[in-house]
Structure 1
Amino acid sequence: MIAKIVCKLEPITLVGGAAVESQQLERAIVEAPTLVAADGGAAHIMHAGKVPDAVIGDMDSLSGNLKAILPKTVIHQIEEQDSTDFEKCLLRIESPLIVGLGFLGGRLDHQLAAFHGLMQFADQRCVLLGSQEVVFLCPPKLDLNLSAGTPVSLFPLGPVNAQASGLKWSFNSLDFAPGEKIGTSNVADGAISLKTNAPALLCILPAECFETVVKALVAQPGSWPARA
């Protein structure tokens, strides 16, 4: 079993290497004050005048100058190349929720890899905050208090059955699957409720919903089990 590097009873902000706006970091810290970097994401944290509690990754994108000024105790180099830096972090952090910055936007293949990581390590709840969207993997059950008219998109990463109420196009039981059935561009009538039978459905909301999503994910009991 792989040992945890960071364990907290409160949400953690994890910063990746893609673009991170200063206001995004400020929003994240309010909800998740502990800062952890995925490899080169440490640059964003240091630029903001802060020092990460840990830097986790293979260190292929952490500059030599930055590595030299960081305390050696916070650097955790993981040599294996079978996982991304994001996945290395998800596997080694224990927290009620991870807020991920610097994983949306930038290269499309990196974004797809991040979505894969959410599904691969679904037992560790994580919400990704970008400049336009907030993205997370739906837990078994989730209630969200959204404003009427809020866009809601549901996108499957694998076969999954879902139920949804409070949407313009609600459904009691719908089988989603990539290449077969997706649920983008729905709209909330107000508060919504989602239920899924597998860790395979992304929920995509406007970035303005970030604080609402964080509070709901932290408050909602029950999560997906770790993969064997």
Structure 2
Amino acid sequence: MIVQHSDPVTLVGGGQLDESDLNRALAVGPQIIAADSGADAVRQAGLVPSAVIGDFDSLSDETRNSLSPELLHHIPEQDSTDFEKCLGNVDAPLVLGVGFTGRRIDHHLANLNTLVRYPERRCLLLDGTDIVFLAPPSIALDLAPGTPVSLFPFGVVEGMSEGLEWPISGLTFTPDGRVGTSNRATGPISIHLTAPKMLLILPASAFEAAASVLVQNASTWPIAA
């Protein structure tokens, strides 16, 4: 394990990054970790990461040379993405990811895939529009009536819900079948799921509330085999 921390941490990727997203993440997780060229964005913001993890195929020489060698953790294998390399080597109550959406849709999809393949790692991705995270076995969120709530399965999963305009009880979700996008909260919601296969997508305005719940929620998935 490269990074172990008892508090939430902010992980910065090389995708589309807005300064306001970075600041919101840092307010919850002040320690910064960079995934490869995410270190360039961190340096441009006038900050220094506590660790840089990746295969370094996109990290600029200027940024690399500006950092102490002990901060650089080179993982050269090409069978995993930089996001996966980071998530597999960061042990924290919650990882707040910024810079992992936009620019390339294949990278975006790979990052969502990684969220599902590391169910034991709590990670919330933020961009200027939305947040997305793997839903734990059960979660309760205090949402205003009319708040968009989207559920997208990455495998076969069933569940129960309260506070959704269209309840999910009795439904089977699959990536190539029924999905749960464009639902809405009628007020506070609670969701219970049968498998670590469901991504929960909410407006970015729910970031702080969702981060707080994920840190405090004792409901966790077992480590993937």
Cα distance in 2 for partners of 1:73, 1:135 equals: 32
Deviations 1:76-100 (A, max 9, x none): 0001111100000000000010000
- Could you tell me the percent identity over the aligned residues? 47
Which deviates the most, 168-177 or 79-88? 168-177
Deviations 1:204-224 (A, max 9, x none): 111111001101111110211
Match of 2:82 among 78, 81, 85: 85
Cα distance in 2 for partners of 1:37, 1:188 equals: 34
Structure 1 runs of 4+ with >4 Å offset: none
Aligned to 2:13: 16
Q: Kindly report the root-mean-square deviation, in angstroms, between the aligned alpha carbons of the 2 structures.
A: 0.8
Aligned to 2:33: 36
2:14 counterpart letter in structure 1: G
Aligned to 1:58: 55
1:91 counterpart letter in structure 2: G
Match of 2:176 among 164, 167, 179: 179
Deviations 1:98-148 (A, max 9, x none): 000011111110110001100111100100001111001100010111111
Q: TM-score, normalised by structure 2?
A: 0.98
Contact preservation (8 Å) 2:9, 2:95: yes
Structure 2: segments with no counterpart, 5+ residues: none
Aligned to 1:208: 205
Structure 1: segments with no counterpart, 5+ residues: none
* Pair 1:96 & 2:93 matched: yes
Aligned to 2:107: 110
Cα distance in 1 for partners of 2:180, 2:42 equals: 35
Query: How far does residue 48 in structure 1 lie from its aligned partner after superposition?
Result: 1.2
Aligned to 1:168: 165
Aligned to 2:24: 27
Cα distance in 2 for partners of 1:60, 1:223 equals: 34
1:117 counterpart letter in structure 2: T
Q: 1:113-192, aligned counterparts within 5 Å? A: 113-192=110-189
- Equivalent pairs counted in the alignment come to 225
Aligned to 2:224: 227
Q: TM-score, normalised by structure 1?
A: 0.97
Cα distance in 1 for partners of 2:143, 2:110 equals: 28
Query: How far does residue 25 in structure 1 lie from its aligned partner after superposition?
Result: 0.7
